[in-house]
Amino acid sequence: MKTILFLCPHHAAKSILAQAYFNHRVKLEGLPFQADSAGTDPSEQIWPSVIDLLAREGMTLHSQLPRKVTRDDLLRAFQVISLGCALEEMETVPQQFTVWEDVPQASTDLEGSWMALRRHVDQLLAELVGTTKPASTETTASAMNRNTP
């Protein structure tokens, strides 16, 4: 089973939402993927508004607390999706690193963030099962490092 790792700085909102929606979709569709999430500078708790939003959508978190991304997380992941974390913040450079730059800040627009994450996850799943080509708005580690000495 391939793991997609969602990262956001505090692991309290966007990466939690993306992980929950991704896992919800793959469970419904019986796909051979799973999501995990972490942060580069984790908060003490997941935002209560995030837990409430997921509950309204029929998704629950099972005693998850924000945690710091580890080297093993980065090496184990089939693909790493960044939601506000810079590549230089990583202990290890992942092989597949994608940045979703157009997701609104959850602190000021939680619903907008949720809708953008759902669109991205839907697109990612379509790509993973081979029904569409990769979105052009995403940045991969190989593209980011092309001009690096």
User: The domain spanning residue 80 has which CATH number?
Assistant: 3.40.50.2300
Kindly state whether residue 23 falls inside one of the protein's structural domains.
Answer: yes
CA distance linking residue 44 with residue 33, whole number of Å: 28
Q: Is residue 80 part of a domain?
A: yes
Domain assignment of residue 106, given as a range: 2-144
Work out how many domains the chain is built from and give that number: 1
Residue 112 covered by a domain? yes
Residues of the chain with confidence (pLDDT) below 50: 136-149
Q: Give the pLDDT confidence score for residue 93 in this predicted structure.
A: 75
What's the burial of 77, exposed, middle or buried (CB within 10 Å: 0-12/13-18/19+)? buried
Give the list of residues 6+ apart from residue 85 with CB closer than 8 angstroms, or none: 7, 8, 9, 39, 40
Answer yes or no: is 13 within a domain.
Answer: yes
Are the C-beta atoms of residues 20 and 59 closer than 8 Å to each other? yes
Distance between CA atoms of residues 39 and 58, nearest Å? 24
- Identify whether 149 is part of a domain: no
Farthest CA pair distance, the chain: 48
Return the pLDDT at 131: 66
